[in-house]
Amino acid sequence: MSMINEITLIAIVVAVACALPGVFLVLRGTTMVSDAITHTVLLGIVLAFFVTQDLNSPLLMIGATLVGVATVWSIEALQQTKLLSNDAAIGIVFPLFFSIAIILITRYAGNVHLDEDSVLMGELAFAPFRRLMLFGLDVGPRALWTMLVILLINSLFIGLFYKELKITTFDAGFAAALGFSPVLIHYGLMTLVSLTAVGAYDSVGSILVVGFMVGPPLAAFLLTNKLHIMIGLTAVMAVINSTAGVRLAFMLDTTIAGMIAVVTGVTTLLVFVFSPEKGLIKATVNRKREQKKIDQRLKEIS
Amino acid sequence: MKWVKGLALMAGVVSLAACGNEQADEVSEDNPLNVVATTSMIADLMETIGGENVSVEGLMGPGVDPHDYQPSTSDVNAMSEADIVAYNGLMLEERFVEVFEQLDERGVFTIVMADALNEGELLDPEEDEENLEYDPHIWFSVSHWETITAYAADQLSEKDPDNEDYYQENAEAYLVELGELRTYIEERIEEVPEQSRYLVTAHDAFQYFGEEFNFEVVGLQGLNTQTEAGTGDISQLADFLVDNEINAVFVESSVSPRNIEALIEAAGSRGHEVVNAGELYSDALGSEEDDAETYLKMYRANIDTIVDGLAD
């Protein structure tokens, strides 16, 4: 397989894997959790490094995932108190974890090249060069396999708990009344978000994690009111964005991650403006129409 | 749940496609060897030694901090077609070492500059630290660069034995130029009074230079350009400037000058005037307009800046 096709394939798999849990982040209004995770994983890396003293240890990845989980769980727990808004909860947890990591590095590891980049390589352009070898056989880029597994886990989770996710997302109180714990589903989903973010971070880098998790679901959200259609549209948008992004990057000879992020931004913006039901144009037209009706009413009255 | 099936199907197709992967790797003798080099210093060296027999693609351009480097698609293409990959090592290209090792396993010839040196010749950032890591800025020692030149010529000859004489000749000629560079450096440094031989810069890139030419080198940020300089670092260094009557500090082309500016202000508030004496090339060569696009020109430019800044 040629370089460009391999990169396209990896981009598609990562995009869909990220976009699926992203659907629920968008619906719950906690999209920036993805951004928080890509920063707080540093704390996990630092802590694991203090234990192993080895920058190449796989423990560092596990540490990153665990702190990612701790991040989403803490955010989730703060939100459950209903004392502060979603973004405020993220705003408390993310800087706290991230700055602890920075302080630990400056205090104890100033002479080590220790940061996210050195552990989670995260460069889509180089992903085809990191091969997975099984029994001496080259079976393809490692990122492709890691993310395929994560994609499968995400699909299974959403497929198996589709009803539960739907009810807890749209009406948590009702869900609790029905007898299954919305909290458990929340935490399950958030654990997947963390796992997906760390895996994708290692495969394609941090900008794209946020772009993939937020862009396609947001566009899909603007196009439909039905959850299953939204999930389908999200996957379609993810595929379009990553394919177009990789092709354009090769045409223009520029950074691939950057190009995909740009394409994601542009397509989401286009949908935002032109969506037939919830788009900006439609909303403006509706508002004008309402205004006219009110004006007419006022005239009739007076 | 049709879409779950759809996804599963897609996953299946993807995994099948991934299996059918083959690679074409033919090295033809009449074509120049495709060399991919990471830093601009290494690209310059490979071009000098390889001459007409190599086509060198440098990944990190002028003024690029290796840490902030973003590969473009042409870099990826160059790497996939590379016969030789030449890189610094010692974690300078931290993110890509894994990639290079993989390329090595796939039969791409890799030349690691740091392999030319013995561990004893490398500098530790701090002796008492437990998790030691060697200082990767080996190019700032001219004698190390000489060793590396010879090593790179040997490695090129190993890859392409037919042209061994050519590579060795180029290396010999280059070693002569490096010798002239050393003389130039030593002569110019004489202009700086011994008690003012302090080089204060944005990050710890110049330790090898200091070791070789008896300069006290102090970097504000440590080895890694990504770590933040703490307020303690800045005020400590400001005290150091006052105590040692250092009047000039330097910024680096590939590092933001903001910390050095803070340092100058901190020294100013202690009643000690320090000037920003100019920009040094640290992790990358300059551009052609700067007349610092080769290792030799870059080093001369640095020495001129340092000596002009300190000798007055």
Question: Which CATH number is A279's domain given?
Answer: 1.10.3470.10
* Nearest residue of B to residue A49, measured between CA atoms: B131
The pairing of beta strand A137-141 with beta strand A131-134: antiparallel
CB contact under 8 A, A148 and B125: no
Task: Find the radius of gyration of the CA atoms of chain B.
Answer: 23
Share of chain B above pLDDT 90, in %: 40
Break chain B into its structural domains and give their ranges: 33-184, 194-310
| B300 within 8 A of B180, measured Cβ to Cβ | no
Quote the CA–CA distance of B215 and B309 in Å, as a whole number. Answer: 14
B57 in the Ramachandran plot: left (φ > 0), alpha (ψ -120 to 50) or beta? Answer: beta
Return the CATH fold of B33-184: Rossmann fold (3.40.50)
pLDDT tens track for A206-225: 778 888 999 999 999 999 99
* CA-based nearest residue to B14, from A2, A153, A13, A235: A13
The C-alpha of A293 sits at a distance from chain B's nearest C-alpha, in angstroms, of 43
pLDDT at B166: 92
B85: β partners: B36, B110
pLDDT tens track for A80-121: 788 888 788 889 998 999 899 888 877 776 656 565 555 565
Write down the residue that tokens 């389908």 correspond to.
A232
* Nearest residue of B to residue A246, measured between CA atoms: B73
Residues of A in contact with B38 (CB under 8 A): none
Residue B1 has pLDDT above 70, yes or no: no
Q: What is the ipTM of this complex?
A: 0.70
**CA distances to A79, A91, A273 from A257, in Å:** 32, 26, 24
Q: Which of A3-17, B120-134, B187-201 has the lowest mean pLDDT?
A: B120-134
Residue B8 has pLDDT above 60, yes or no: no
Q: Which of B15, B75, B94 sits opposite A118 (nearest CB)?
A: B94
First to last CA, chain B: 79
A 206-265 residues inside an 8 A Cβ radius of B:
228, 231-232, 235, 249-250, 253-258
Residues spanned by the domain of A182: 3-301
The reply to whether A153 touches chain B by the CB within 8 Å rule is no
The reply to whether A137 touches chain B by the CB within 8 Å rule is no
**Helices A86-108 and A33-52, packing angle to 10 deg:** 30
pLDDT tens track for A35-60: 888 888 888 888 888 888 776 677 87
pLDDT at B6: 57
Mean pLDDT (whole number) for B113-141: 74
pTM of the model: 0.77
Length of chain B: 312
pLDDT tens track for B181-205: 999 999 999 999 988 899 998 888 8
Query: Does this chain's domain B33-184 share its CATH topology with B194-310?
Result: yes
- Picking from A56, A61, A104, A111 by the largest number of B CB atoms within 10 A of its own CB, the best residue to mutate is A111
| Model confidence band, residue B31 (pLDDT cutoffs 50, 70, 90) | confident
The reply to whether B102 touches chain A by the CB within 8 Å rule is yes
* B194-310 belongs to CATH 3.40.50.1780: no
Residue B18 has pLDDT above 60, yes or no: no
pLDDT tens track for B273-295: 899 999 999 888 888 888 889 99
The DSSP symbol for B35 reads E
B64 in the Ramachandran plot: left (φ > 0), alpha (ψ -120 to 50) or beta? Answer: beta
pLDDT tens track for A183-204: 788 888 888 988 898 888 888 8
The reply to whether A102 touches chain B by the CB within 8 Å rule is yes
pLDDT tens track for B32-76: 899 999 999 999 999 999 988 899 999 988 777 777 788 888 888
